[in-house]
A and B are shown apart, each in its own frame.
Chain A
């Protein structure tokens, strides 16, 4: 099997990683870079627990081969906070109780973050649409939607 040495920027820092061709971006993040914030829920593109930003756009890391991200930029949930300060979306999730078991949370945060970047004032329907690919078994979504609404107000 082919192996590839790739260069990738993860959460702002340059990484050189040796990956086999059958390794996913999700496995690379968790097993090679010890960034275990990104979760493995279904490995089938269904649940969104593995959502990360690839060149600024959300993707399911379980559906991307690590070798495909050579030369590109990845942001994981670990890259959202800065200088010990939670990002406004994270803070809003804490304040609104948008987290229960927390398994969906990293993916939710990335998707919500990306939504607010492209649409700073989403309607409730737009929030729900943007989070269709992020399943949560605990919260019933209501508090998550509220948290995103709060973050939207906080960002202005």
Chain B
């Protein structure tokens, strides 16, 4: 006996080149879906939310699971890099610790062996844990499609998330990676996540904080704040960031910024938490994140 009805029928193709994927997407349109770890896709197929006729496995495309550091200090993570690979990668841990922490916060160890960075972002969930980290690191989504002159275009993370389940991916496009610019000099990053239990669950609230010294800010520091699970998409808390740039850094400013982050949130009631609880938790987690990042900034 199966616990669930099982999958409707579909064809499976393992793609070898991105051009082949684009051809299949153009040929089959909405009836084709891309598969990486399948931890979002297979759940939705099993629940009958989507019924693709063709499943195209894209995780074995060349370079899809590589992490590459470029000479100019960029780091590019292939879209099929798994959460466990991201969380364990020495360069990601050293230079983008908030991203490593976000990846490690996803679900369980065995699920993180399958769940990928690209799948997390392309799924477009407001609860995607890597979303806020990618936003504050100002990552750029590398999208492959049938465009001229180059088949590849880059979309800044800030322009990628459009609504629940909606992203800037166009019909016939796939994500091949995410390019992270060098982290700001002297930066400290963290990702704080509140789930219903201590681990293994989607975020009730997730907060990414990145802080770094910056002479052009009146306070001498800038902070970037990204939020998960409190709006139709993952978002930056811009007004809170302005409060922090004005300064001076310290408890009073952090409290005001945390209040601003709460204002930026547009949470809903759902099975995981009420909107009012979420809003209060945005404030608390933002404040905690700012204190922790500031403490580290003072040590450096």
Name A residues whose Cβ lies closer than 8 Å to a Cβ of B: 1-2, 4, 20-22, 27, 40-45, 48, 51, 54, 57-60, 63-65, 67-68, 111, 114-115, 129-130, 132-134
Contact = CB atoms under 8 A, between A and B. Distances in A.
Nearest to B82: A57
Given A41-B3, A43-B2, A65 B107 contact: no
Interface range, B side? 20 to 34
A32 B67 CA distance: 37
Given A63-B111, A132-B199, 4 more contacts: A21-B10, A22-B7, A22-B9, A65-B12
A60 B110 contact: yes
A45 B84 CA distance: 16
B32 to A, nearest CB: 13
B146 interface: no
B9 A45 contact: no
Contacts of B199: 129, 132
Contacts of A133: 107-111, 200
B273 to A, nearest CB: 19
B43 interface: yes
A63 B109 contact: no
Contacts of B14: 67
B203 to A, nearest CB: 15
Contacts of A51: 110
Nearest to A40: B3
B46 A44 contact: yes
Contacts of B107: 45, 133
Contact of B12 (A21, A54, A59): A21
Interface in B81-136: 84, 107-111, 113-114
A44 B111 contact: no
Contacts of A54: 113
A129 to B, nearest CB: 7
Given A22-B6, A45-B111, A58-B110, A4 B46 contact: no
Given A2-B12, A133-B107, A44 B113 contact: no
A132 B114 contact: no
A114 B109 CA distance: 10
A115 B14 CA distance: 31
A111 B55 CA distance: 29
Nearest to B42: A63
B12 A40 contact: no
A132 B6 contact: no
B3 A68 contact: no
A32 B51 CA distance: 25
